[in-house]
Amino acid sequence: MCGRYSLIVTDDLGARFRVHDPLIGLRSQFNVTPGREMPVVRDGAEVRMECMVWGLVPSWAKDPSVGRRLINARAETVAEKPAFRASFATRRCLVPASGFYEWRREKGEAIPFYYRLERGGHFAFAGLFDTWHDPAGGERRGYVILTTDANALVGRVHDRMPVILHREDEEAWMDGKSSAGLLERFFAPFPPEEMTGWRVSTKVNSPDNDSPDLIEPQETARRWW
């Protein structure tokens, strides 16, 4: 699964995702947790970036609290699950990120690891979104991150990982005309040789902590890799 990630905001964020009018006032977040509003890139008349809540509430849901549980969608079943199949068909998006965390259980303790691209920089998770309307006329737009089998690197810690799109596949992922067969090709685990990872501080276990030191390698990291 993917329950935490980071987004380091740099001047080239808009250009990286071909957004002409990126969101103003974004700040770097090193411990993104479910329920937080984060930038998402979606297609339409033009590619645009907007903030949505991490946690999808299907448009037909009676209770928005379901969004607290729907933060990930398994790629293998996303086309079949009632909560996701309509969004998979027509509401696919990019979730910009700089890295993500996974945990391994060691003697009852949750040990966090941080993963990013070997070359650094931003990348995109494959995401879906939906809009839920409340009885008073308000709306809540939320998203989920797709997951797939872990690659050889992440698999040392967890059996699942987020679907990371190759840059050349991002446009096709958002394109409403892309076939299901093409989309399923994007679900393959990202190549481990193009990623790196290390053990980080357990400070990240608390959603209250959000600082650059959360992604720094621990002194003992070398013994894990």
Catalytic residues: 2, 102
Task: Answer for the pair 84, 78: CB distance below 8 angstroms, yes or no.
Answer: yes
Which of 200, 212, 31 is CA-nearest to residue 111? 200
Which residues neighbour 54 within 8 Å (Cβ) at sequence distance 6 or greater? Answer: 32, 33, 34, 35, 36, 37, 38, 71, 142, 143, 145
| Cα end-to-end distance, the chain, whole Å | 21
The first and second tokens of residue 29, run together, are 């977040």
* 3-state DSSP assignment of residue 133: strand
Which pairing describes strands 48-54 and 139-149: parallel, antiparallel, or unpaired?
Answer: parallel
Residue carrying structure tokens 């990291």: 221
**DSSP code at position 203:** G
Instruction: Tell me the residue type at 127.
Output: G
